Amino acid sequence: MQIRPEVYDDRAAVYAVTHAAFAGLDPMVEPEEVGLLQRLFDCEGYDPRFSIIARDDSAVIGHVIATWGTVGEEPLLGLGPIAVAPEYQHRGVGSILMQHIHDNAKNFGLSGIVLLGSPGYYRRFGYETATGHGIHPSDPSWDEHFMVRVFDKDKLPAGNYRYAAPFGC
């Protein structure tokens, strides 16, 4: 398996993997995550260092992205969406993508990454409730689902988090 930053030519395959991973009962209905991803690629918060694909010999099988949001004036990455093609799930691909994006963030000296997701899944990667670190979601009902992975607690900003514009929150 190859793990590397996404390039423009990967995007059709990334949309296809995201569609398949988030598909509901009707595969003809495009999941909202596909449109979100298209807007994230075009937004100011997009940073190619934090858009990572996994490939097997012939195809893209997974993708994760983190884009720049803010806490006040301070930039802070927000992770998501992450998607692994259904036929490749439960084989550790999602974990490898998470590890890789965290390694990049650490190598670039970032203080942390936030996300909105299932604590049951993300705690294994070191995520903790963000409010416990003074970072608050725009929607208080997100509660324990709004999480932060801390790399440098001394540099971590505190305040209200605003995601990259396409998230609308």
Residues that bind ligand COA (CB under 6 A): 21-22, 80-84, 89-95, 117-118, 120-121
What single-letter amino acid sits at 102?
H
Q: Which of 67, 79, 73, 65 is nearest to 126 (CA)?
A: 79
> Least distance (Å) from ligand COA to the CB of residue 135?
19
Q: Which is nearer to ligand COA, 96 or 165 (CB)?
A: 96
> Least distance (Å) from ligand COA to the CB of residue 165?
18
Q: Which is nearer to ligand COA, 33 or 135 (CB)?
A: 33
Measured from each CB, the residue nearest to ligand COA is 94
Q: Which is nearer to ligand COA, 24 or 120 (CB)?
A: 120
> Least distance (Å) from ligand COA to the CB of residue 18?
8
> Least distance (Å) from ligand COA to the CB of residue 122?
8
> Least distance (Å) from ligand COA to the CB of residue 119?
8
Q: Which is nearer to ligand COA, 120 or 140 (CB)?
A: 120
Pair 34, 15: CB distance under 8 Å: yes
Q: Which is nearer to ligand COA, 93 or 135 (CB)?
A: 93
User: In this structure, what are the phi and psi dihedrals at residue 101, rounded to the nearest 5 degrees?
Assistant: -70, -35
